[in-house]
Structure 1
Amino acid sequence: MSKPFGGRIAIVGTGSRAAMFVRGIVERPETSRVVALCEPNTVRAAYYNDLLKSLRAPEVPVYPPDAFKEMLQKEKVEAVVITCIDALHDLYIVPALEAGVRVLTEKPMTTDVEKCRRILETVNRTNSPIIVTFNYRYNPVHELIKRTIAEGKIGKVLSVHFEWLLDTVHGADYFRRWHRQKENSGGLMVHKSGHHFDLVNWWIDAEPVTVAAMGGLTFYGDKAGKASGWARDYERARGSEAAKSDPFAINLEADPTLKKIYADAESVDGYYRDQNVFAPGIGIEDDMSLLVKYNNGATMTYHLTAYSPWEGYRVNFNGSQGRLELEVVESEYRLPVDVSQMDGLIHGTESLPHAGGVRVTLQNLWQKPVQLPVKVDHGSHGGGDTRMLSVLFGPLPGQAVDQGDAAKQGATERDGALALAVGLLANKSFKSGKFEHVKDLELPL
């Protein structure tokens, strides 16, 4: 990136994730300031203005979505940070680019192929690249993996096995909120493309070519819940007696932030943040298996489970000269009481309870395994959020920018599209039962 992402910045969307960006901008008053909010829910917007005031920053005007273009012009916006519902990203990315405004968007960049094409075509037409916040690239442990592979320590990567486990608090949360419908999120394959599939593309410096996948709603939802005995009969947890005995229920009032931006705000838009994970009508999968082929000949087997008793991931790289293994235990186990305090845990600003260890093992052919030294930070997405803010918005006063020592970490719309392609093709393969190909998406990369 040629210069820090700064100037007069508008925040689009005021859910939980926006707080990280607001704090990061306010901490850098010499280069950046928040000048406007774009948000349809007046209660959530008011919460963010209160946050700004608590950080000793001025209150800013709030614009509804249909006044987005007016906001750009009237507030002399130089850059936008987009953190709204994933399926709506393109509605702000495209007009911002056309107005000559710099764009930073949360991952995933968007949720379907038509929206992705529209974004890419606008980038090409305006010659204005965007930034996609793949914060996991900045995690020091992930950087160690990137550096080890880039230095050729296991030779040419031939295959990857990636297992990701979401527990029954974090994983369940995707089935309580707007993510539970594919028209909003694209499902977990699209949502997690912003973490997992981008990481693999980046780690092995390759582009996906072909995807085959199987997935289903096997644990959450009404049918699976009744079969397992976990189901309770209620629509949402707030005010429900049945929810009190449900270890999967979330108590919005128990977390001050969730209460203010969701429980207190639902009278404005009717959005329930605490829906029953075993309700009928859930439209996304909770168990997914993929096979991916890359343009460098490597293959990946991938499995995501969203109902595990522990949370973390294992990634194994098999190379022509040896093997690299990564194991991260973000939470060894969860208790139902953990559900009460959710905001920081779900959105990565704090460590999960009962955090475990991290291990990176390098083993060359004919040699003993070696444990590589790792820097562990279970909060802020493994330290990735903090380092990403430093790179994107510039260092804090008195600090040097923390860019790490691996290869390029910043991600553009092309990286966003290539990560998204794996998730889109997985969803397509779920239905077709066939191998699906990136070239058939006809993305203007």
Structure 2
Amino acid sequence: MSRKHVFTSWSAQGGLDQLPLAGGEGAYFWDFEGNRYLDLTSQLVNVNIGYQHPKLVAAIQQAAGEMATIAPSFDSQWRADAARMVSERAPEGMSKVFFTNSGAEAVENAIRLARLHTGRHKMLAAYRSYHGATHGAISLTGEGRRLGSEPGLPGVVHFWGPYLYRSAFHATTEQEESERALEHLRQTVQFEGPDRIAAIILESVVGSNGILVPPPGYLEGVRALCDEHGIMLIADEVMAGFARAGQWFAIQNWDVKPDLITFAKGVNSGYVPLGGVVLSDEISATFDERPYPGGLTYSGHPLACASAVASMQIMEEEGILEHVRELDRTVFGPGLRALAQHEVVGDVRGLGAFWALELVADKQTREPLDATRMAAIGRACKAEGVWPLTMANRVHVVPPCVITEDDARRAIDVLGRALDSAL
């Protein structure tokens, strides 16, 4: 039925052979034949509190029993609570939240907010980035997925962000990479006209394009550059937020406050579609007397907001942020870095429960590992009951944030053995 009737995203429809899922619990899911897999994907890096958490399911059921839908033109207790809780976990001075149905819609509204607040039209975004598949979001996206949707949104300019392993700036140290990437961005701003740039958007930690953790000083430098020219800084936290990087928002790993934060995915582990934008008080004040020209039928939907409230409560009650930081320190950091000795592992990088191994055919030339050998690694993991996330020449290790220490160690052991399949 799926092959006949479902049009699937990012896929050639004729070659699809997807696994039907029957259920899941915690960090595991299983198929209809009883095969059980430890999930290293979190679906689309969003099931942060794991599958079928009973308190989250109960919260959705309760909200549905009270009032299953409430339009944005009415107030809702669930929406108010969710907005308060998100803003309380954001940097100080970001008191209001605009709810959307997805991360892409959050980015679309962040673009609009930045343009209306500044009166400028240009948007700067990194080449190695993914911001969503709607018109504005895919235009901001720097990687190849945007090409099929061009021409895109007018006024979008791309720049190179830091990526030491394949440095565009011929850097050899993190300090050099940070300094040179910032100088490149400064020159881009100057040539594009600082007084025409509404915002610079970046993923606090680049997700789909390789789990690229910014080098020390980079985010601080971008903030300073924005302040110098009255440019808004948008932190895209759709993938990196809500415990994934060990904080409520990944940017809180650095001493940087953005003007707008986009979020989705982990805010409620994807149980119900939900995204949003956290606004600085300065930007929200722009619309105190002036209507905001945007809206969504399901903005702040009660079932979605109820699930977000429950999710944040669960994260606090169960110490999930602390658990992720401990996994980083004792398991993922040392365990994955130890795999760097394998001859096909070129680079290991990440933080929290947000890691990637970049695989190469030759460590000297850094030639990416080919698709055939990457597929062999995937099959080897699945044969041992671990479901990996392979993207290009990388294996991303992004399990539900509730994964146990024992399961995390087992996943690393399985991955280590699977790397031999690529030899």
Structure 1 and Structure 2 fold alike (TM over 0.5): no
Structure in which a larger fraction of residues adopt strand:
1
Structure in which a larger fraction of residues adopt helix:
2
Give TM-score scaled by structure 2 length: 0.30
